[in-house]
Chains A and B, each alone.
Chain A
Amino acid sequence: MNLKRALTLTLLCSVSSAFAASQPIIGLITKTETNPFFVKMKEGAQKEAKARGAKLLTAAGKADGDNAGQVTALENMVAAGAKTILITPSDAKAILPAIEKARKQGVMVIALDSPTDPQDGVDALFATDNYKAGQLIGQYAKAAFGNKAVKIATLDLFPGHPVGIARHDGFLDGFGITDKADKRIVCMQDSYGDQAKGQTAMENCLQKDPEINLVYTINEPAAAGAYQALKAIGREKDVMIVSIDGGCTGVKNVQAGIIAATAQQYPLKMASLGVQAGVNYAKTGKKVSGYTDTGVTLITDKKMKGVTSKDTKFGLANCWGTK
């Protein structure tokens, strides 16, 4: 598609949408089209928009970190007459100028899932408290280990990602580790949240120190990869894996004993709250503001004293993904 055609199409879209102005138009821009988390977020938004008689436009960047793609989507949605835009920012800082431009034109912009930097670059933020999610599984692991000797491997996201950092730091805080160079952390590797890469990282960590007995993972695919690596050397029974996400596949893995505990987050809630706010703004002209914590729940079938959790039955009833 060349630029001219794209422009004409955008113009046509905006002209035709001007005729159908009775319906509030809400835009949703996710990081990617392919991450199951965002796929479910989109489905939640579609459902809510349909129920409330709003029109939902969706777009995404090509890959995680594709800021230019998100800027393009934002511009096109403003052109198409969207009065509210929900966005999961790929780049917390670089997206701000485009957001500012849209807000100057009277568009309400709400960040979902992860914040912009600074946070008040948008009207409001609906997201999981990732630090708290990390804390929960850290506290859980601490309660399980008590004073037993521990050797920790962390399978992180990738360098410099705010969500990855918040979860990692939260986990250490929950476990009671204050010093980043603590000897108990024997291996830190990037998994990119990907199962195959997580498996490779875990295999190498186990080569480095075969006595690792606690694994923190950034998300459930990385946890599944870690489990594969442990199973290959017959240690899957005596190593604890904790994770974050609460996708249906992940919760099933908690049920099967593959993951000890996971901190569940609620992307569908982020999306539906966002759409509701958009519809209200179109009807009353009132914007939302500030941070709304969409909640995080520790899911496990092996309860620990002093750590609040729900079982996998609750987890499965509230999970996102393919049930």
Chain B
Amino acid sequence: MKRIKSMNLLGPIVALLLACIFFSTQSDRFLSGQNFSLILQQVMVVGVMAIGQTLVILTAGIDLSCGMVMALGTIVMTKFAVELGVPPVLAIMCGMFVSTAFGMLNGFLVTRIKLPPFIVTLGTYNIAFAITQIYSNSQTVTGLPAALTFFGNTFNIGGTVITYGTVLMVVMYVLIWIFLTETAPGRQIYAVGNNPEAARLTGIPTNRVLLMVYTFAGFLYSIAGLLLVSRTGVGDPNAGQTDNLDTITAVVLGGTSLFGGRGLIFGTLLGALIVGVFRNGLTLTGVPSVYQILITGVLVILAVAADQLTRKKG
């Protein structure tokens, strides 16, 4: 079991290394601490959102609403702080509450009303988007208090400037990894994704596990929202519109199976980094950005094909 799991990370690690080697031969600016710090900053928002997406996909579900739930959270945070004069920390908590509530709504509809996750989150994607637009009147919120952009602050290690936000992302990946591998609720997520019926018969409260996963995913999207605000310095009602596909891309590239029950959280981080490395590297070599999209598409197909082949063997 352990051996097969680490094998799964082999694909994304090899892809990432090959990309890095290729770009370091193409541009002398690629291989530097500063450039890697930059790539981390660029994948940070999608990276944190993709943690939630990974948990959902591990249960054999999917969450199309993530980017919109994030955007709604950011608009609540920024508008509360700027226009209602709510103290920043409280405003952030309000935004987090709204996103988490949306995650809970997803979980409720999936477990209690027994609707397919794809349809549920397609619905909430639209609902969250509309509420965001209506509440903000489609206008960007500016003039944020400093506390809202706290995670944009930086520190310096050996000449490399690192933002707090990227550190938070890495810390979160480590915490979720411990949660998934070392705790009972974490292992229950795998069990439910592998075979919900068998999980139920062994006494795992499958509905409670699913509700927890979707709710927690909503909470994670709000953290991603806070990181987005700290990165851009504004509340943008049009943020996150394609993030559902970007997070799914990261999850798939990381070797997690869309059929549920198989996958590793660090794979997702690698998946997000692969996309970021190609975007950054191709810019440095002067290639138009549309080729990055082309390469991402090819890699996604390869990753899913690899998953299919290993499933057949296993």
Decide if B138 touches A196 in the complex (CB within 8 Å). no
Min C-beta distance of A53 to chain B, whole Å: 26
Closest to A249 in B: B142
Closest to B32 in A: A207
Decide if B283 touches A205 in the complex (CB within 8 Å). yes
Decide if B288 touches A159 in the complex (CB within 8 Å). yes
B158 within 8 Å of A (CB atoms) = no
* Residue in B38, B41, B42, B234 whose beta carbon sits within 8 Å of that of A195 in the complex: B234
In the assembled complex, the Cα of A228 lies from the Cα of B45 at a distance in Å of: 16
A97 within 8 Å of B (CB atoms) = no
Closest to A199 in B: B232
Closest to B34 in A: A207
A203 within 8 Å of B (CB atoms) = yes
Min C-beta distance of A220 to chain B, whole Å: 10
Decide if A199 touches B238 in the complex (CB within 8 Å). no
* Residue in B42, B140, B286, B288 whose beta carbon sits within 8 Å of that of A208 in the complex: B286
Decide if A196 touches B289 in the complex (CB within 8 Å). no
Closest to A63 in B: B241
* Chain A residues in 8 Å Cβ range of B228: 196
Decide if A36 touches B286 in the complex (CB within 8 Å). no
Q: A189-B289, A196-B228 are in contact. Are A208 and B237 (CB under 8 A)?
A: no
Decide if B284 touches A208 in the complex (CB within 8 Å). yes
B156 within 8 Å of A (CB atoms) = no
B29 within 8 Å of A (CB atoms) = yes
A311 within 8 Å of B (CB atoms) = no
Min C-beta distance of A166 to chain B, whole Å: 19
Q: How many A residues are at the interface, by size bracket?
A: 20 to 34
Decide if A34 touches B133 in the complex (CB within 8 Å). yes
Which of B138, B232, B233, B239 counts the most A-chain CB atoms under 10 A from its CB?
B138
B280 within 8 Å of A (CB atoms) = yes
B279 within 8 Å of A (CB atoms) = yes
A259 within 8 Å of B (CB atoms) = no
* Chain B residues in 8 Å Cβ range of A245: none
A224 within 8 Å of B (CB atoms) = yes
* Chain A residues in 8 Å Cβ range of B34: 207
* Residue in A34, A207, A322 whose beta carbon sits within 8 Å of that of B35 in the complex: A207
Closest to A208 in B: B284
Interface size on B, residues (CB 8 A): 35
Decide if B232 touches A195 in the complex (CB within 8 Å). yes
In chain A, residues 192-207, which have Cβ atoms closer than 8 Å to a Cβ of chain B? 194-196, 199-201, 203-205, 207
Decide if B279 touches A200 in the complex (CB within 8 Å). yes
In the assembled complex, the Cα of A203 lies from the Cα of B133 at a distance in Å of: 29
Decide if A199 touches B140 in the complex (CB within 8 Å). no
A33 within 8 Å of B (CB atoms) = yes
A221 within 8 Å of B (CB atoms) = yes
Q: A36-B139, A249-B142 are in contact. Are A195 and B133 (CB under 8 A)?
A: no
* Chain B residues in 8 Å Cβ range of A34: 133, 138, 237-238
Decide if A321 touches B284 in the complex (CB within 8 Å). no
Min C-beta distance of A241 to chain B, whole Å: 15
Q: A207-B35, A232-B161 are in contact. Are A35 and B280 (CB under 8 A)?
A: no
* Chain A residues in 8 Å Cβ range of B237: 34
B262 within 8 Å of A (CB atoms) = no
* Chain A residues in 8 Å Cβ range of B27: 208
Closest to A197 in B: B289
* Chain B residues in 8 Å Cβ range of A159: 288, 290
Decide if B279 touches A39 in the complex (CB within 8 Å). no
Decide if A203 touches B42 in the complex (CB within 8 Å). yes
Decide if B232 touches A207 in the complex (CB within 8 Å). no
Decide if B29 touches A208 in the complex (CB within 8 Å). yes
A187 within 8 Å of B (CB atoms) = yes
Which of A187, A194, A204, A225 counts the most B-chain CB atoms under 10 A from its CB?
A204
In the assembled complex, the Cα of A74 lies from the Cα of B185 at a distance in Å of: 53
A190 within 8 Å of B (CB atoms) = yes
In the assembled complex, the Cα of A87 lies from the Cα of B133 at a distance in Å of: 21
Decide if B232 touches A321 in the complex (CB within 8 Å). no
* Chain A residues in 8 Å Cβ range of B154: 232
* Chain B residues in 8 Å Cβ range of A232: 154, 161
Closest to B42 in A: A200
Q: A194-B238, A208-B27, A208-B29 are in contact. Are A35 and B138 (CB under 8 A)?
A: yes
* Chain B residues in 8 Å Cβ range of A35: 138, 238
In the assembled complex, the Cα of A34 lies from the Cα of B27 at a distance in Å of: 39
Decide if B139 touches A39 in the complex (CB within 8 Å). yes
* Residue in B30, B239, B290 whose beta carbon sits within 8 Å of that of A196 in the complex: B239
Closest to B129 in A: A34
Min C-beta distance of A29 to chain B, whole Å: 17
Closest to A224 in B: B234
In chain B, residues 42-61, which have Cβ atoms closer than 8 Å to a Cβ of chain A? 42, 45
Q: Render A178-219 as a binary contact track against B, CB cut-off 8 A, 1 for contact.
A: 000000000111100011100111011101100000000000
Q: A39-B137, A39-B139, A189-B283 are in contact. Are A196 and B232 (CB under 8 A)?
A: yes
B307 within 8 Å of A (CB atoms) = no
Decide if A33 touches B161 in the complex (CB within 8 Å). no
With A224-B234, A233-B161, A252-B142 already in contact, 15 other A-B pairs whose C-beta atoms are closer than 8 Å: A35-B138, A159-B288, A159-B290, A189-B283, A190-B289, A194-B238, A195-B140, A196-B45, A199-B231, A207-B29, A207-B38, A208-B283, A208-B284, A208-B286, A249-B140
13 intermolecular pairs with C-beta atoms under 8 Å apart: A194-B236, A196-B228, A200-B42, A204-B38, A204-B283, A208-B284, A221-B140, A221-B236, A224-B232, A224-B233, A224-B234, A232-B154, A232-B161
